[in-house]
Structure 1
């Protein structure tokens, strides 16, 4: 494991007692480690673990270790706290509290504390992935997540944030990669034209043309709409939902309802279709002519009204 002492956990989280029994959290560390390794790739994790076990590691190598350790420590402690709200004994589950000096927290306080821990976890994962993108180590560039992203129009969270606000979350971007790939294959590529697709794919956000911007905008919007419509609410950025709820007149602390999310997804999809049309206009190099009335032909077996 890349975490082996309570002192390390306390330094990484700031809210873990150094005299806690480390054995109680080992299982949570192992589970959080597996989840993170699945996200960043086993080779990257093994690289960091090797640096951790190397007593003569350089400062740069120690930096990678710490960036891998932090999300693991945060998630492991969160799960341990959630499990320890009740003690599990032979004669059943019990809640132990000193009635003279302690008070039972309200449920909303527990929910808020959980949300705060999760937000810290997500941010620490974002920091780790941005660091890997910047360093471009061989272990990272050969990972499945990185190779899949390089086949797409939008190749990282920072680029995605240009077209749809996800708070520059690299973790959210990686979770959206399957949706981006689907939209690119079924919508953007077909609308642009498969024969010239490689030309568009070779462009970058640094020197962007109108057609590339419109294609990326449509792809980002439709990918987010798909994620929302399929009830993958965990990929919806908290800031987007909070902003929408606030604008609709509800309290910012209130979670958006399923109906709210579906309505927002429909709006985003409509916007995406408009940007697909803008992509075609930019590709053709002029204004598109819209036919207000259907053009019927006597050779057709149908009539449009």
Structure 2
């Protein structure tokens, strides 16, 4: 078996829930090795639950999850931690830990604390601090950090684990736009440099499109579409996932696919600026494309 035939993560007929409520219902998903995949969808559609289930933190009612071709349940705890790391959306603030000490927790899977930190552990911690821009803050108390700094510290801990599969639940939470882009760029760089498989939950569709190889659109515990960013930003797919009309466009500098919401009245060309609506590539053309796509 090789990377071309074995998925990093595979879920089959996966159902997950709490008592009488199913959050995920008969879901099938394949995550390719070495790819960056974004999970996108409305609040409550099951993105975080799916991530937790793939990480072995949430039991399934039925169905299977495989990690690198082996059943999730066949992994011992430390072996799984060397294979897969997850950053949850909300994390409890540890008391009395410095940033460096928190990041060092990511090395537990590689030998525990009894033997102390080896040179490889210290190097991994240094690399994670550098990747997240936290080297100057390594000696600070985690509790004294801002929300954005704390989020970067948690990301650094996940990176220090050096697992080939990285699951991130809203990694840009609490971050300003500068640090959002820094983190996304650095994770994308690590994906390319180390062949990391990354699955992240992102709410910003344009960031998901810019930094991901694939987007998975979810709604009500099911996958409604999965594919390249260019394909997933088509209005019909976004309508199916979010229940709103979106217009697909292109970044003015890079030409990369982007989407913008069709705000109330935007599809009514009677209210459009005539020159803009009639201009090649203007709003009239975008509206016409959106209407054709939604009608398809």
TM-score range, shorter chain: under 0.3
Q: Decide which structure has greater strand share.
A: 2
Q: Decide which structure has greater helix share.
A: 1
TM-score normalised by length of structure 2 = 0.26
Structure index of larger Rg: 1
Q: Which has the higher contact order (CA 8 A, sep 6+)?
A: 2
